[in-house]
Structure 1
Amino acid sequence: MSDSMAPAKQSRTSRLSSTTSSRREDSLGVEQQSMASNNGAADGQEQDKPDTPKLDWSKFKATFTVKHSPIPKPSHKASKKRKRGAAAREPMLEENEFDKNLSTLYTVEPVKWWEDTRRYRKFTISTETFRLGDTVWVKPDDSETVDAPLQNWVAKVLEVRAASEAHVFLRIFWMYRPEDIPGGRRPYHGKNEVIASNTMQVIDALTVNGKANMRHWTEDDNDEVLDADQLFWRQTFDCPDGSGTGELSTLRKHCIDEAPFNPDTLLIHCDACGLWLHSECLEHEAIRQAHEENKLPEPILVPASQRSAAMSQTTPNGHVSHTSDIDVKTEESERGKIEPVFQTEVISGTDVKSQIILKDTREGHEGEEYKKEIHCLKCKALIE
């Protein structure tokens, strides 16, 4: 979701139309930002600015580009105050609410066109109103070929600008889908997970495809379980210039394999030693024991922490290629092993005893089920 990951041109859809929602009843389909706004990157309204743009916007054919500058030393901290004329070219500071360490200095070009717009607090598309700070779905480019659980892009609205009803722009931070970062989706990424970033871009307001209900999941021990359809973020990607390379923040690690947790799966807590256990690790251990008890060859099991899913990479020309990064076992290491003959399911809850259900798939044993108690993979204590 940078210049390489998110195309500069985004098609407008016929069903989207900008409608008037201004208290000033001006005709822009957006509400003018009040002087009391606390948005640091767009602080205050320029009182000496004319109500109508100076430039002929029918001739605007450019695409707004965000340029980034290095953060200066504290003694030379950039001002949040907006200045007119040549001073307006000075980089502005955008503090990142996801992570203060991801704050960025930016300028928007071409400057004369950007400075000719006015700032607003909200905008309306069809019958839906959006405000500063909202998380929104963004319609992908028509050339989008990434196979992802989330079909739309996700963005955080930082600023609303308009020159006319036909020229409404949003300055946004992208919320990356796992498929859009270098290396692609990791095994621990949930199907409704996005990654907060400081990658900034200016997009057409008419590419917005609806409001997204997103929450920050802190993954604390006492944090509530996410709903199945809840959009969330817990990780950040430091990539201000949108070059496609950047630093992905680390996550809390669990279980004996010391790997992050995929919230689409289960974590089982051992009260004896305090360790959180991946359900997949427990299932693999149950399969190994079942093979051994039935005098079967060792099963071929590859933990999620030792593999990654098929990943999508965006090339400089904007095309997406798919490659595989799955660890392939050598013939020597897999010699004598077989595919697991048992299917497993971990059962756990506040009103049920924790256990593993094994289903036999061998010929002559189809449908046979076995129940196994769950023991901690570290301290071997029984988990009720």
Structure 2
Amino acid sequence: MIKSLQCSQGADYRRFMKRQSPESSATIKKQIHKRLQKRWTIRELYKEKSWKTLVKVGLQTKGLYEEYDTIKVQGQVLSVGDSVLINSGDQYDEDYVGTIKQILSIKEPTTAKLICLCRIQWYMRKSEIIKSQPKCSEWISEQELFITNHQEYILAQSIIASCKILSCSEYQELDEIESTIYFNRLEWDLQKKQFGNMDALQQFCFCFQPVNPDRQYIQCDSCKNWYHFECVGIKNGKYNQNEFYCSKCQ
């Protein structure tokens, strides 16, 4: 009976309430209002894409919240700790990248359908970084990502595919690089719009920049330092001599 009342507050509801004592009537009315409010909240939060608040509501309501170790998306089984590509929408050319930190579901009480969510730790791409740091464009690789401390919930169905995020040294050792393979070596502070551990990177060449795996380098046979082809006057990406000495060692 309560279930049917939660779906409607019309004539049947009023007749039912008249048969109750004032005390029991008030108690039942509060219970019905509370449950209706919860169900309406979940539907509205889903509609508004307010995932963080939706999770809070699910945690506060017994039987609506459940966590998982894995989830199947786009035919792939993904686990907590996996890195993934996320649909950024039609207004962006590049997909977002993040690491799954949590997998959960919230049950919509009226339909019993599960709203599957993942808590994601975000990475920033080169195209986003150079908006604030344009001078970094020369040493940031196209496949380089920058980890942030920002996490938020997304719909699991917005995940496109899994990807790999390696260290810079691991990335440099690859013979072939697929489009879903990235590397990370720096943190990015979203509030300050700056790198968090830039001093840890070794700098190369006369221009004193961190290594960019996308560019070509040549090592001096004397000082053993590495230099960009362009910075030492090597054109067309070719150097035919057996030895190379930088201008400091010549």
**Does residue 379 of structure 1 match 2:249?**
yes
Q: Residue by residue, what CA displacement relative to the aligned partner does 1:209-262 show, whole Å, maximum 9, x if unpaired?
A: 101122111489xx62563333211221123xxx57344431321012211222
| Amino acid of the structure 2 residue aligned with 1:186 | S
Q: CA deviation at 1:203?
A: 0.8
SS at the partner of 1:180? helix
Q: Match for 1:214 among 165, 190, 203?
A: 165
SS at the partner of 2:230? helix
Q: CA deviation at 1:187?
A: 1.1
CA separation in 2, counterparts of 1:120 and 1:195?
A: 27
Does the CA contact (< 8 Å) of 2:117 and 2:153 recur in 1? Answer: yes
Q: CA deviation at 1:374?
A: 3.4
Does the CA contact (< 8 Å) of 2:81 and 2:99 recur in 1? Answer: yes
**Does residue 224 of structure 1 match 2:173?**
yes
CA separation in 2, counterparts of 1:111 and 1:139?
A: 21
CA separation in 2, counterparts of 1:207 and 1:173?
A: 15
Does the CA contact (< 8 Å) of 2:221 and 2:245 recur in 1? Answer: no
Larger of the two Rg values belongs to structure: 2
Q: Match for 1:280 among 217, 225, 230?
A: 230
Q: CA deviation at 1:127?
A: 1.6
**Does residue 262 of structure 1 match 2:212?**
yes
**Does residue 60 of structure 1 match 2:45?**
yes
Q: Match for 2:76 among 116, 124, 128?
A: 128
| Amino acid of the structure 1 residue aligned with 2:45 | F
Structure 2, unmatched stretches of 5+, are: 1-36, 108-112
**Does residue 180 of structure 1 match 2:71?**
no
**Does residue 235 of structure 1 match 2:220?**
no
TM-score normalised to structure 2 length:
0.67
| Amino acid of the structure 2 residue aligned with 1:238 | D
**Does residue 346 of structure 1 match 2:237?**
yes
CA separation in 2, counterparts of 1:219 and 1:270?
A: 24
TM-score normalised to structure 1 length:
0.45
Does the CA contact (< 8 Å) of 1:261 and 1:278 recur in 2? Answer: no
Q: Match for 1:154 among 71, 90, 97?
A: 97
Q: CA deviation at 1:269?
A: 1.9
Q: Residue by residue, what CA displacement relative to the aligned partner does 1:119-165 show, whole Å, maximum 9, x if unpaired?
A: 11111123211110000000112222x6xxxx211111101110145
Structure 1, unmatched stretches of 5+, are: 1-53, 66-107, 287-343, 348-354, 357-370
Does the CA contact (< 8 Å) of 1:226 and 1:263 recur in 2? Answer: no
Shift of the 187–131 alpha-carbon distance from structure 1 to 2, 3 Å rule, reads same
**Does residue 195 of structure 1 match 2:138?**
no
CA separation in 1, counterparts of 2:248 and 2:58?
A: 59
CA separation in 2, counterparts of 1:247 and 1:114?
A: 36
Q: Residue by residue, what CA displacement relative to the aligned partner does 1:7-51 show, whole Å, maximum 9, x if unpaired?
A: xxxxxxxxxxxxxxxxxxxxxxxxxxxxxxxxxxxxxxxxxxxxx
Shift of the 64–247 alpha-carbon distance from structure 1 to 2, 3 Å rule, reads farther
| Pairwise CA RMSD | 2.9
CA separation in 2, counterparts of 1:195 and 1:248?
A: 10
**Does residue 171 of structure 1 match 2:113?**
no
Q: CA deviation at 1:60?
A: 3.4
- Between the two structures, name the one with larger relative contact order (CA 8 Å, sep ≥ 6): 1
* Residues paired across the two proteins, number: 195
Does the CA contact (< 8 Å) of 2:186 and 2:195 recur in 1? Answer: no
